[in-house]
Amino acid sequence: MLQQLFTPSVQHTLDLIGIFVFAISGALLAVRKNFDVFGIAVLAEVTALGGGLFRDLIIGAVPPAAFTDLGYFLTPLLAALLVFFLHPQVERIQTGVNVFDAAGLGLFCVSGTTKAYEYGLGLTASAALGLATAVGGGVLRDVLANEVPSLLRWDRDLYAVPAMVGATMVVLCIRFDALTPVTSGIAVVTAFVLRLLAMRFHWRAPRAWNRRSTVREEDPAKATA
């Protein structure tokens, strides 16, 4: 069994904080899309828990933690309620929400990778599931809101790449028998800082090589017609 980065109680608290912040982002998108209160709650739940649910189902950790821990299920509802009544105020602190979201990204990519490996997956598969844990909820959120997932759009700051780096650091540490609370913490901080730098300097992934500038961008309105 691999060493835990934090004690179970601290890990649980950090999980709830990450879930809460992810849920905020889902609820805010629902408000922008003019969803009703049920839609806000659904998008909050899916964003917060989607990645972890996918991971747990893949590795056979059933029933998933989201259904065995009431706190995991109720926390997104609390975030949805907050956004329902106070969304103008929450929008004004979006920068702060993004910082906590980046912290959740770093924590979940590392904890997801570690959990997948503990359940018997190989290094590559564990890293992939660590990435899915971190970004899966956001993908489901965007799909339900009828948007191209943010991590697939060239005009959005890097999101999946920091999570990939964090997950890769974890599996490399496992490979060389160097995974400790310290090295796990370094992986979390690395993913967190990379995401912050991407937001600060608007780092984006390159598009197709030798892409001709005369090719027009696809019109989102026509794409959904």
Q: Tell me phi and psi for residue 204, to 5 degrees.
A: -135, 155
Residue 211 lies in a domain: no
Domain membership flag for residue 116? yes
Domain count, the chain: 1
Query: Are 140 and 46 spatial neighbours (Cβ–Cβ below 8 Å)?
Result: yes
Q: Is residue 215 part of a domain?
A: no
Give the tens place of pLDDT for each residue, 109-153: 999 999 999 999 999 999 999 999 999 999 999 999 999 998 888
What is the pTM for the complete model shown? 0.85
The answer as to whether 223 is a domain residue is: no
Give me the domain span that covers residue 169: 8-205
Q: Is residue 192 part of a domain?
A: yes
For 54-112, how does the pLDDT look when each residue is reduced to its tens digit (9 = 90+)? 999 999 999 998 899 999 999 999 999 999 999 888 888 778 888 888 988 999 999 99
Query: Is 121 within the bounds of a domain?
Result: yes
In a domain, 2, yes or no: no
Does some domain include residue 218?
no
